[in-house]
Structure 1
Amino acid sequence: MYIRLARFLALHARSILVFWVLVVVASALVATTGFGNPLWNRLISDVPQATPSESHTGQKLLESHYTKSYGVLAYVQGVDFRTEFKSAENTAQQLRDLKEQAENHGAQAKTLGDQAKAAGGEAQRLGLEARQAGARGDIAKAGVLAEQAQSAARRAQDLAGQAQSAGGQALVLGNKAKALSQPDWPVARSLHEALAPIEAELKTIPQVKSVAYPFVEYNAMLDPQARELAAKNRQGFVVAVSLDLADGGQPGKYPSEKMLKVVRHTEGILGKVQAAVAKHVPDNAKVAPLRVRITDQDLVNKAGIQTLKEDLVRSESIGIPISFLVMAIVFGGFLAALLPLGSAGVAISMSLTLMLGMTYIFEQQSFAVNVISVLGLGLSIDYGLLIVSRFREELARLKSLPQSEWSPDFSAIKKPKTVARLQHLDPRHLRALEITVATAGRTTFFSALTVAIAASGMLFFRAELLKSLGIAGFSVVLLAMIAAITLVSSLMFLFAAKLERPSILARIPGLRWVVRRAAVDTVALGDGTAMVSSDSLGASPVASRTSLESSLDSGKPTRKSLFDRVAHGVARRPWLSFILSAAVLVAACLPLSYLPLRNSLFDLLPIHNQQRLLYEDLAQEVPRVGLPPLRVVAKDTPPEKLDKWMATHVADLKGVAHVFAANPLGDTKDSAAIVQLETTDPGSRAAEDVVKAVRAQAHDFERFVVGQAANQIDFIDSLVEGLPWVLTVLVAITIFLLFMMSGSVVIPIQALVINTLSLMATLGISTLVFVDGIGVGWLGAKQLPGLESYVIVMLMCFGFGLSMDYELFLLSRMKEVWDETASAKRSVIEGLSRSGRIVTSAATILVFVFLCFVTGNMIVLKQVGFILAVAVAFDATIVRMVLVPSVMALFGRANWWAPGPLRRWHNKVSEKLGHLE
C-alpha cells in the first residue's frame, strides 16, 4: 500500500502540488471572508462551562434576558462628591427619621380624631336620651344623662384639640423633610446639569429602556439605590443604560448585527460624558485625572478575541522564523527547511475552514484558533522533519550502493503505461521516496493517529470548550499528517536533486561546520523510522534484504556521537541512570500536593487590558454593577419572595458581606439577587465554600447559584466525571498501538507508567512557576492563585499524545534492532543512538513553537505554551534519552515478552501488514 502511494505521489507530484495550493488558497479565503461572516466574527471568548450543570442552567436563564435588558456602562472617575455623598447619607437618615415621626404623628392624629368623633357621638346620644327622659317627667334621670352628655362633649373637644396638635406636628415635620430634600449640593447639581442633556439624547433611541446614575435629579442621592451607583471612594459613579436589543422580539445572549449598531450609537453618546462633566463641574471638585470608560458585553468579548488575534500574530511571527532557522541548521539547508512549512499551511488553513463550518453547529471558542495554529505548525514541522530526514538519508545511502541492489521492482504492475511512466523517473529518487513513505510515512501515520485519538479524548467531557479544542486538535493533527505524507513527499521528489546539493549555509564560515555536521548526522544516525519488514519495500527479495541490511549497517554510528555516548552510558549503568532520572521526575512532582485549579474570568485577559482593569475597578468600587461574584437566579419567583429567602437563608452565612435586593429578569416571573462576598477573589476556596453553603439551603422554588466559584465547582466536577472515559481511551491507545509495534505487553505498561510520571512532573514544574511564582516574571506574567483546569486536560490529552509520538520514534528503532539481533542491550544502545537526533531535533523545534505562546498576553496561552514546552522538553530528554532506555536495559529480554496466544496473533497480523502490496 505504501509503495503504491509513493509511486502515485511520484507520478503526480506536480498535480498534487497544484491541488494543495488551490486548497490552501480556497481555505484561507473561506476562513478569512466566511462569505460575508469571517471566522473571527463567529467565535466567542467566553468562560468555559460544564453543560449541563446548575451554574450553566442558571447562566443560560440570565443570558436569555441579556438582549432584553442589555447593559452599557460608563464609569466616570475624577469628580469628588464625598462631602455631598456623606450629606446625602445623613440627610437620608434624617428624612427616614422625619418620615417615621411624621407617620407616627399622623397616625396619632388619626387615632385621636377617631376617638374625638366617637366621644362626640356619645355626647349626642346621651343628650337625646336626657331630653327623652325629661319629656317622660323623669327629671332625676334626665339630669344624670345631661351631665354625662356634657362630659362626653368636653372629652370630644379635648381629643379633637389633641388630634389637631398631632396633625400640626406632622405638617411641621413634612415641611422640614421637604426643606431637607432640597439640599445645597453644587457638585451634584452641576453633574445633573451636565448629564441631563445626554440622558435626553439617549432616550431618543427607541431601544433605550432606562438611564440610571446618581444624579438623575440633583438630589437623587437621597435614594439608596442611586447611591449604589456611586463609587466607594465617592470620586466616581456609573451611568447605566439598559437597552432592549431583542431583535424581532427574540431575546438571547448576543445582540444581532443590526442591534450592535444601536450599541455603538449608545457608546458614542456616552462618549460625550467626559466633555460635559469637565465643562459643568466646578474646578475644586475635579480630581485628576478625569476620565470616562465604557463597557458592555460585546466590548469585553471583542477585547478577548483581539488579544487572541494579537497573540496569534505574535507567536506565528516569532515561531515560524525561529523554527525555519532551527530546521535549516538541522537539515543543513534552506530548501529542506521550507518543505514542512508547506504542510503547516495546509493543516492550519483547512482546520480553520472546518472550524468555520463547526460554528454553525455549536459555539466555538476563539482560543481554539491559537491551538490549531500552534499544533498545526509544530506537528507539521515534526512530521516534515521525520520524512525529509529519511528521504535525504535514503538518497545518500542509495547513491553509495550499486543500482542492482536497490532497483525498483515493477513486476506487480499490470498496466504497461504506468510501468513506462515510472521507468522515465529517476530510479534512485523513486526508490528513496518508496522507502521513505513505507518507513517514515508509516511512522507519521501511526504517530498522528495516536495524537489525534488522544486529542479526541476531550470529546468525552461535557464542557463545550473542551469539545471545541478536541475537534480542533483532532482535525489539525490528521491534516498535518496527510499534508506531510502527500505534499511534503511530492515536493521532496520534485526537488530531490536540489536537496542533495550543498547548502548555501555551508559557505558561511560560522555555520560551515554545523551544517556539514548536520548533513553527516542525517545519514550516520538515521531517523528512527524503520517500522516495516524488508518484504514490504517493493523490491526484489534479494535486493530488498540487501537494501535493509545496508540500511542497518549505514545506521551504525561511524563516530562517537553525543547520542551514542549517552546510549552506551545508560546501558552500562542502567540502575544509576534509572534512579537519577526517576528522582528528578519525582522531585518535580512534589508541588502537586497543593495544586489549585481555577476557571478564571477577567483574569484571563492581559494585566493591562482596559476592559479587565475597568471590571476590576467596578468590582472593587461599584459592586452593584460590577461582575457579580455570586448570584442567585430564581425561576418563576417574584423578587419579593426571593428577597425574603435570601434574608433568611443567605444573608447570615459565613463569607457573605452583603445581599443586594432582587431584581426581576425582564418582563418574566424570574428574578435574581446579587451576593457580595467578604473575599475579594471570586474564585477562591472561600468563595467556593459560600456557593456550597447557599446550595445546601432548603428552598421551595427552583433556584440556581451562578458565578465564578459556582462555575468552577461544576466545571471541575464535570472533569472528574469524564476522566474515567478519557483515561480508558488513552490506556487503550497505548496498549494497542505499542503492542502492535512491539509485540510486547510489558512495553505498553512501562510507557503508561513513565508517561504518567512525566506529565505529573510537568504539572509540578508549572505549579512551581505559575502558582508559587518562581520565575513567572520571566514569562511576562504574575503569580496566579491556580492553574486553569482545562489547561490540565489539554496537557493530559495533547501532552500524552506527543509523549506517545516520541515513544513510537524511539521504540521503532529498538524494535528493528531487536528483530535483527535478538540482543536486548544492543537494541537499547543502537535504538537510542539512531533515534536520538531525530527526537531531539523534533522536540527542540516543538519547544520553540510552544514557547512562542508564552510571548502572548493572554495568561491561558502562556500556561498552555509553557506546560506543553516543559512536557516536550522532559519527554525528549530525561524520559526518552535516559529513563526509558534505562528501564528497558534493566528489563532486558523481558521487555519483549507476551503470552503465547497474543504473541502468535501479533505475528500473524504483522505478517499480513508486512506484505502490504
Structure 2
Amino acid sequence: MGAWSARHRKTAVFGWLLFVVLAALLGGLHGSTEIKESESMPGQVSRAARILDDAGLESPASETVLVRSDALTTDAPAFRAAVGRVIAGIDATGKAAEVRSPYDTGAVSADGHAALVQLTLKGDHDDAVENVPAVLAAVAAVQKQHPDLTVVELGDASSGKWIQEQFSDDFARAEWTAVPLALGILLVAFGALVAAVLPVVLAVTAFVAAGGLVALSSGFLHTSDNASSVMLLVGLAVGVDYCLFYLRREREERAAGRDASTALAIAAATSGRAVLVSGVTVVVAMAGMFLTGIAEFQAMSYATIVVVITAVLGSLTVLPALLSLLGDRVEKGRVPLLARLRRPGTAATGGRVWNAVLTPVLRRPLAATVLAGALLVGLAAPMLTMHTANLTFRQQLPEGNELVAVSQKIEAAFPGSPAPATVVVKAADIDSPAMTAALADLRTKALASGRMHGPVDVTVHPAQNVATVDIPLNGTGNDSVSNDALRTLREEIVPATVLKVPGTEAPVTGRTAGSYDFNAKMTGSMPLVLGFVVAFAFLLMLVSFRSPVIAATAVVLNLLSVGAAYGVLTLVFQHGVGASLLGTAGVGAVESWVPLFLFVILFGLSMDYHVFVVSRIKEGRDRGLPTRAAVAHGIRSTAGVVTSAAVIMVAVFAVFGTLSMQAMKQMGVGLAVAVLIDATVIRAVLLPSVMTLLGERNWYLPAWLRRLPDLSHGGSFPPAGSAGAPHGAASATGPAPAGGSRHRRIGV
C-alpha cells in the first residue's frame, strides 16, 4: 500500500480528498436517522415504547410546575389565584396538550404549602423541546408577578432542552479545544509546523468522512448523539496516533542516513504494519459491543469502527503519498527553540527520563514487576465497590445548575422520585368493567404498598385500547429504594390487578425502569462481550507475533490497565475522592454504559502502544539481539513516539473530562487515566520487566501452532547511508538503527 501510494502520489492524495468530500456531502444530504426509544432500551421499557408506537401514541413530554409559599397554604385565595394564573398562562401559549390543576389531582404537599401543576406538551419529544420555551416564559411571568411565591418548572422537555443545548455546546468546545491541543503537542514532538499539521489534518478529514458514512448508513443502523461524540473522541486520538507512528519512523530513518525512498519503505513495512494490526484490534474490540443487543452501544460501536477503518486507510495510503510528495520539506516551518530540544540521538536512546526509568527496571526486573503490579492492583481495588446506574439528570448536571436547584425544591416539597413509573396497559377492551375495576385496584394497591405515592395519574385511550398509569416511586429514581418499589410494582401489584384481566399486557416503563432494565441487560451481556474481546485480542496478537506468550502478556497487561482505570473511576465519581479537583462531585454511581465502553475501547487503544513497542522489540530480536537487549532497544527507540502519542490521547480525552455532562466526564477521565497508566507504568515498567523475566520464552511457539501465517515483513534493506532501495522493499530484520552496538551494550 505504501509503495503504491508513493508511486501514485496525486491519485492517492486527490482520491482521498474526493472520498472525504463525497462522504461528507452525501451524508449531509441523507441526514442521520436517530435511535428510537423502543430501540434504545431493553426489557419492559422497550415493549412499552413499542405498544405506544403501534397505537400511534407519542410518549408525552410531561412538565411539572411547583407553586410554593412559606406563609400561605394552598387553600389561601392568593395561592389559588397564583395557581390559576399558571394554568391560564400555559393554556394561552397553545403549546400544552393537557394542563391539570393540583386541586383536581390532589397534588398538594403534606404540609399544605406547595402544589404541583402537571401538564403534557404537544407532539413528540423533539416537538416538546421546541415548544417548551413558551411555557417556561409563561411560568417565569407568573413568578415575576408573585415574588413572594416560588413558581418554577421542571420536566422532560425543559431538562431535555438544556441537555440538548449543553451537549451541542460541549461538543463544539471539545472539537475546538482538542484539535489545537493535538496540534500543539505534535509541534513540540516534531519541532516543525508541516510535520505537526499532517497528522491533525488526516485525523480531522478521517473524522469528517466517517461522519458522512455513518449518516449515510444510519437508515439501516440508527445512530445517536453519543455515537458522534465517541467518534470524534476516538477518531482524533487514533488518527493522530497512527500518522504519528508512521511519520516518526520515516523521519527516524532519514535521520539515520537512509535515502527518502528507503526511509518511506521501512516506515511502511514496520510502522504501517503496526498501524494495520492495531486498527484491526480496535475494530474487533469495538465489535464486541454489538453482542450487548443495546442499540446505543451498537451505534457507538459502528461509528467507532467506521472512523478507525477510515483513519487506518488514510494513514496507509494518503500519508505515504504526502511524505513522498513533500520529502524533506515535511520539516518546513521549524521552530528553532523546539528543534533544539529534539537533540540528535534522542529517538534512539529514549532520552534521560526513559533511561532513568528503564535502566533499574532491566537491572531488577522481578522487583519492578512486583512493585508495578502491586500499584495497579491497588488502584483497581475500589472497582470491587463499583455501582452502576443510568444517572438521573440531577446526577448528570453540574453542581449549582438551575435545573438541579429546581429539582431539589420539588423533591423537598414532594419527597420521592421526580420521574414516575408508567404502567402501559394494552387490553382487549380498555373500557370493560373488569379493566376499569382493575385500573382502580392498581391505583389503590400502589398507594397502599408504602413504596409509591401520589398523585397517581390514569389516562385512557379508548380508540387504541391502551391506558397509561403514572405512579411516582419512593427514592431518588436510581437507588435501592426506587428499585425495590419498581420490583414490587412489576412483580406483585401489576400481576395482582390489571394482568388478571385476560388478554392484557402491562409493561412498566419510566426512568427508574430504564435504568433497572439497562443494568440487567448489561450484567447479562458483560461476560459475553468481555470473553469475545479478550479471545479475539489474544488471537490477533498470536497471529501478529507468532507467540502465545506475547499474546497472553498483552491481554494480562491490558486487563491491569483497564482495572486500574475502573478503580480510579469508582473512587472519584462514585465516592467523590478528588472529584472537586475535576470540578465535579461524587454522585454515588458510575454511568451504566461507561464501564463496558471503557473496556472495549481501552482494550483496542492499548494495543496501539503494545503492537508498536513489541514490533520494535521483535525487530531487534529478529536481527540477532538477545531478548534483554532487544527489549532495551525496542523501549528506547519507541519512547519518544509513545510519549507523544500518549500525551495527545490523554489531552484529547481530558478535554471530555471537562465537559458538563457527568457521563462525558466519566468517559473522558476514565480513558485519560487508563492511557496515562498504560503509557507509563505498563509500557515503561511492566512490559520490559515481564519480557526480561520471560527471556527467550517470549518467542516460544509450539509445534502445532507453526502453521500460523507469518505476517512479518520480508525482504531486506540496505544499511543506513547506502544509496537507493526500491519502493515497497521490506525487511524481516528491519533497519539497523544508528548506534546499534551502543544499544546492545546498554541493554546488556
Residues 169-224 of structure 1: CA distance to partner in whole angstroms, max 9, x if unpaired? xxxxxxxxxxxxxxxx35535754x468657746xx5x96544334xxxxxx3x4x
Map of 1:443-482 to 2, 5 A cutoff?
443-482=274-313
Hey, what does 1:348 align to over in structure 2? 207
Hey, what does 2:396 align to over in structure 1? 604
- SS, match of residue 677 in structure 1: coil
Q: Which of 520, 525, 543 is matched with 1:717 structurally?
A: 520
Hey, what does 2:540 align to over in structure 1? 737
Hey, what does 1:333 align to over in structure 2? 192
Q: TM-score, normalization: structure 1? A: 0.70
- Taking the aligned partners of 2:511 and 2:168, their CA distance within structure 1 comes to 25
Q: Which of 681, 685, 688 is matched with 2:480 structurally?
A: 685
- Taking the aligned partners of 2:68 and 2:378, their CA distance within structure 1 comes to 52
Q: Structure 1 pair 79/358, CA: closer, same or farther in 2 (3 Å)?
A: farther
- Taking the aligned partners of 1:596 and 1:337, their CA distance within structure 2 comes to 42
- Taking the aligned partners of 1:265 and 1:789, their CA distance within structure 2 comes to 31
How many residue pairs get aligned? The number is 703
Map of 1:783-862 to 2, 5 A cutoff?
783-821=586-624, 823-862=626-665
Residues 104-137 of structure 1: CA distance to partner in whole angstroms, max 9, x if unpaired? xxxxxxxxxxxxxxxxxxxxxxxxxxxxxxxxxx
Residues 140-178 of structure 1: CA distance to partner in whole angstroms, max 9, x if unpaired? xxxxxxxxxxxxxxxxxxxxxxxxxxxxxxxxxxxxxxx
Hey, what does 1:188 align to over in structure 2? 80
Conserved in 1, the CA contact under 8 Å of 2:237 and 2:652? yes
Hey, what does 1:156 align to over in structure 2? none
Larger radius of gyration: 1
Hey, what does 1:405 align to over in structure 2? none
**1:369 Cα deviation from its structure 2 partner:** 1.2
Conserved in 2, the CA contact under 8 Å of 1:71 and 1:241? yes
Map of 1:525-604 to 2, 5 A cutoff?
525=348, 557=349, 561-602=352-393, 603-604=395-396
**1:911 Cα deviation from its structure 2 partner:** 7.6
1:7 aligns with 2:3: yes
Q: Structure 1 pair 467/190, CA: closer, same or farther in 2 (3 Å)?
A: closer
Q: Which amino acid aligns with 2:353?
A: L
Conserved in 2, the CA contact under 8 Å of 1:79 and 1:236? no
Conserved in 1, the CA contact under 8 Å of 2:191 and 2:334? no
- Taking the aligned partners of 1:838 and 1:860, their CA distance within structure 2 comes to 30
Conserved in 1, the CA contact under 8 Å of 2:285 and 2:537? no
- Taking the aligned partners of 2:616 and 2:82, their CA distance within structure 1 comes to 82
- Taking the aligned partners of 1:302 and 1:266, their CA distance within structure 2 comes to 8
- Taking the aligned partners of 1:43 and 1:350, their CA distance within structure 2 comes to 19
1:635 aligns with 2:494: no
Q: Structure 1 pair 846/189, CA: closer, same or farther in 2 (3 Å)?
A: closer
Map of 1:626-775 to 2, 5 A cutoff?
627-636=418-427, 638-648=435-445, 650-653=446-449, 655-658=451-454, 660=456, 662-665=458-461, 667-679=463-475, 681-697=476-492, 698-699=495-496, 700=500, 701-775=504-578
**1:704 Cα deviation from its structure 2 partner:** 1.8
- Taking the aligned partners of 1:13 and 1:233, their CA distance within structure 2 comes to 78
Q: Which of 101, 109, 119 is matched with 1:213 structurally?
A: 101
Alignment gaps of 5+ in structure 1 = 88-184, 215-220, 246-252, 280-285, 400-427, 526-556
Hey, what does 1:390 align to over in structure 2? 249
**1:606 Cα deviation from its structure 2 partner:** 4.2
Q: Which of 137, 142, 148 is matched with 1:271 structurally?
A: 137
- Taking the aligned partners of 2:644 and 2:487, their CA distance within structure 1 comes to 50
Q: Which of 782, 792, 799 is matched with 2:585 structurally?
A: 782
Q: Structure 1 pair 670/460, CA: closer, same or farther in 2 (3 Å)?
A: same
Q: Which amino acid aligns with 1:632?
A: V
Conserved in 1, the CA contact under 8 Å of 2:573 and 2:590? yes
- Taking the aligned partners of 2:71 and 2:101, their CA distance within structure 1 comes to 14
**1:480 Cα deviation from its structure 2 partner:** 1.0
Q: Which amino acid aligns with 2:438?
A: K
Conserved in 2, the CA contact under 8 Å of 1:578 and 1:887? yes
Q: Which of 504, 507, 513 is matched with 2:334 structurally?
A: 504
1:909 aligns with 2:704: no
- Taking the aligned partners of 1:190 and 1:563, their CA distance within structure 2 comes to 70
- Taking the aligned partners of 1:25 and 1:788, their CA distance within structure 2 comes to 36
- Taking the aligned partners of 1:471 and 1:66, their CA distance within structure 2 comes to 30
- SS, match of residue 634 in structure 1: strand
**1:647 Cα deviation from its structure 2 partner:** 3.1
Hey, what does 1:140 align to over in structure 2? none
- Taking the aligned partners of 1:81 and 1:65, their CA distance within structure 2 comes to 46
Q: Structure 1 pair 269/661, CA: closer, same or farther in 2 (3 Å)?
A: closer
Q: Structure 1 pair 346/47, CA: closer, same or farther in 2 (3 Å)?
A: farther
1:313 aligns with 2:172: yes
- SS, match of residue 504 in structure 1: coil
Segment drifting more, 861-870 vs 628-637: 628-637
- SS, match of residue 710 in structure 2: helix
**1:862 Cα deviation from its structure 2 partner:** 0.6
Map of 1:96-107 to 2, 5 A cutoff?
none
- Taking the aligned partners of 2:70 and 2:572, their CA distance within structure 1 comes to 42
Q: TM-score, normalization: structure 2? A: 0.85
- Taking the aligned partners of 2:156 and 2:578, their CA distance within structure 1 comes to 35
Conserved in 1, the CA contact under 8 Å of 2:152 and 2:406? no
Q: Which amino acid aligns with 2:477?
A: P
Conserved in 1, the CA contact under 8 Å of 2:193 and 2:331? no
- Taking the aligned partners of 2:647 and 2:132, their CA distance within structure 1 comes to 51
- SS, match of residue 470 in structure 2: strand
Hey, what does 1:75 align to over in structure 2? 65
- Taking the aligned partners of 1:654 and 1:292, their CA distance within structure 2 comes to 28
Q: Which amino acid aligns with 1:570?
A: V
- Taking the aligned partners of 2:465 and 2:49, their CA distance within structure 1 comes to 16
Hey, what does 2:113 align to over in structure 1? 234
Q: Which amino acid aligns with 1:762?
A: A
Q: Structure 1 pair 497/815, CA: closer, same or farther in 2 (3 Å)?
A: closer
**1:693 Cα deviation from its structure 2 partner:** 3.0
Residues 421-459 of structure 1: CA distance to partner in whole angstroms, max 9, x if unpaired? xxxxxxx32332222112211111111111111111111
Q: Structure 1 pair 231/484, CA: closer, same or farther in 2 (3 Å)?
A: farther
**1:565 Cα deviation from its structure 2 partner:** 4.3
Conserved in 1, the CA contact under 8 Å of 2:418 and 2:477? no
- Taking the aligned partners of 2:458 and 2:334, their CA distance within structure 1 comes to 73
**1:14 Cα deviation from its structure 2 partner:** 3.1
Conserved in 1, the CA contact under 8 Å of 2:90 and 2:138? no
- Taking the aligned partners of 1:572 and 1:741, their CA distance within structure 2 comes to 29
Alignment gaps of 5+ in structure 2 = 717-727, 730-748
**1:235 Cα deviation from its structure 2 partner:** 5.2
Question: Equivalent pairs: percent with the same residue?
Answer: 26
Conserved in 2, the CA contact under 8 Å of 1:311 and 1:856? yes
- Taking the aligned partners of 2:461 and 2:667, their CA distance within structure 1 comes to 38
Hey, what does 1:493 align to over in structure 2? 324
Q: Structure 1 pair 210/718, CA: closer, same or farther in 2 (3 Å)?
A: closer
Two-structure CA RMSD over aligned residues (Å): 3.3
Hey, what does 1:303 align to over in structure 2? 162
- Taking the aligned partners of 2:194 and 2:510, their CA distance within structure 1 comes to 53
Q: Structure 1 pair 574/620, CA: closer, same or farther in 2 (3 Å)?
A: same
**1:86 Cα deviation from its structure 2 partner:** 4.7
Q: Structure 1 pair 8/661, CA: closer, same or farther in 2 (3 Å)?
A: closer
- SS, match of residue 202 in structure 2: helix
Q: Which amino acid aligns with 2:227?
A: A
Conserved in 2, the CA contact under 8 Å of 1:458 and 1:470? yes
